[in-house]
Amino acid sequence: MLRANHKRTIVATRAGEKSGLRGPGAFALLGLTLLLSCACLSCSSEPGGGQMLVAEQPFGKTDEGQGVHLYTLRNANGMQVEITNYGGIVTSLLVPDRDGNLGDVVLGFDDLQSYLAGHPYFGALVGRYGNRIAKGRFTLDGKEYELATNNGPNHLHGGIAGFDKVVWNAELGESQEGAYLKLTYVSSDGEEGYPGIFSTAVSYTVTNQNELKISYEATTDKATPVNLTHHSYFNLAGAGAGDALGNILAILADRYTVVDETLIPTGELRDVTGTPMDFRKPTAIGERINEVKGGYDHNYVLNSGGGKLALAATVYEPKSGRFMEVFTTEPGIQFYSGNFLDGTITGKESKVYQKHYGFCLEAQHFPDSPNQPGFPSTILRPGETYKQLTIYKFSIK
């Protein structure tokens, strides 16, 4: 059990806001509230004799002077995840290769300022609505809502200041499953154009089964679309070790959502058979990528159908032996092959990220669902609780 006098809570705000209350409560207080001072938290031994370590350190300040922290979660096997409460970003993820050597398998930066300067959602917690909404508009219960168009003609990943730019409340602890970081935030009615006061809790847990478990819960006081997801760019060979085209991917999906030239679904769910979209058998990401205009950036319709935890995808990297399984309760998963990385971003350890240096597997509902009545609904209503669980599990082969 985490000792009570080592508990610390951070007050959530949106980066860029001025001081003072906003919305319905004190979640909008700008600044850092420390209940008790402690720079590093160490938890008690696990039943198996392993030591679960949770650490916290300053990670810099926002442009408005708000303090941001970096949290480290480890398990008894040495797996380590670092997460900042700015945007819920997973900044590093260390997992062993077949020789037992730990390697960082996600792209990102060494410092907060690089994240503040802008980035393609490296490791981010995305919301209210992950992926695209056509023309930044949707109609709900007879009322039309307008959102920012921040991706060509469309709305992407919650808007200009989505959840990836929020400084979240943070609470560290330890459960039977492992060390965890719980992030919470209350989004005000009308924030980024979305209706309703939207309360969100996201927990990251590192287990002794070498899992990173991400669980989401949310409620609202008005009907609103919701599609929360995680946006790490993976390369199981190691972050910055070259392109990820040799990673061998399998996706348990017979269909995908066909998109137009702006990556908005047409409504068609197309069979993958006989196409370069077919990853039902493990296939190197780069084997057929040149047959897909622009590369992969598509939502797959998972065979599980969502609603229960099920295997969605696997990835194997032959040189390191690292193997990743993705489980989710969501009905879809967005596979993105890092098409827009272009060598202009310098990441951790001064490594330049070129095209296809990482890939994303974003568990989600389908893009543009608020405008697509044939897709599973993404509307959350008062009295309901949004729940999602996604697990990234690591092993070796």
Q: Which residues are part of the catalytic machinery?
A: 231, 362
Helix or strand run (H / E) with residue 310: strand 310-316
DSSP 181-196: EEEEEEEPTTGGG--S
Task: List b or e across 72-89, with b for residues whose CB sees 16 or more CB atoms inside 10 angstroms.
Answer: bbbbbbebbbbbbbbbbb
Q: If we measure between CA atoms, which residue out of 287, 300, 286 comes closest to residue 339?
A: 286
DSSP designation for 238: -
Distance between CA atoms of 371 and 126, rounded to whole angstroms? 19
Cis peptide before 128 (omega within 30 of 0): yes
Query: Could you tell me if 54 and 8 are in contact, meaning their C-beta atoms sit under 8 angstroms apart?
Result: no
What's the first-to-final CA gap in the chain, in angstroms? Answer: 34
Non-local (6+) Cβ contacts of 10 within 8 A are 32, 33, 69, 85, 167, 168, 169, 170
CB within 8 A of 110, min separation 6: which ones? 347, 348, 349
Residue 382: CB atoms within 10 A of its CB come to: 12
